[in-house]
Structure 1
Amino acid sequence: MTADLDYPRITRRIVKLMAILTAAGALIFFVVKGFGAMLSFLGGAAISSLSFWLLHRMVADVTKVVEGEQVKPVSLLVHAFRMLILGGAAYAIVKTYGSFVPAVACGLTLAVTAATIEVLIELLYARA
């Protein structure tokens, strides 16, 4: 069953979905709450996108290790402190810039939402 999955295609589609959801969310927050809420959403979306990218890199690095290749020590540090880095960015956005917290929270769910939509797409196509 997993042999049918094309992981690069799935990753590309998740990235496209993230871009579409970012544009839609930014537009909605701009219309409903104004420019500040839009920037807050974009800040959360940026953190979510960075998290997705770092997770993608971590999977690639784990694959390298399993195949016997070396991984850069800097990559290991980034992976070890990923949540601290992302949490620090979220804290800075909320506390330093006085962001609209619900918009930041919505932005932070961007990658999970895109991945969930991708799973639904894969399930729908698998049944067809």
Structure 2
Amino acid sequence: MKKVCIVFRHSPYGTTHTREGIDFALLSASFEQQVSLVFCDEAVLHLLPNQQAELAGSKDYVAVFKAFDLYEIETVLACKASLDALGIDQNELAINAQIVEAATISAALADADEVLVF
């Protein structure tokens, strides 16, 4: 089984980067690849609940995050430094993500067969 790690770095809305990354993650997982996700920098904002994508002229793809379990995407990491920099507490997140230090993210990247950044 191939291990794929997808790193999200862009803020919600305004670009299609995250939507493309999510689509790729779900597609990869449906082909029985082991998918892990990493949210860092402004991408941790995707993990906040009650977003109103339509106000930004976008579709609400963040709701798809709740389907990660159905696709057996079990490893979802959020960068602690990014959360701290944006003043976000773990209890505020809409999904269950592991809050990790940079060393853990580096280990996840090193363990992957393929790394994609969106």
Structure with greater strand percent:
2
Structure with greater helix percent:
1
Q: TM-score higher than 0.5 here?
A: no
Structure whose alpha-carbon radius of gyration is higher: 1
Give TM class, smaller chain.
under 0.3
TM-score w.r.t. the length of structure 2 is: 0.28
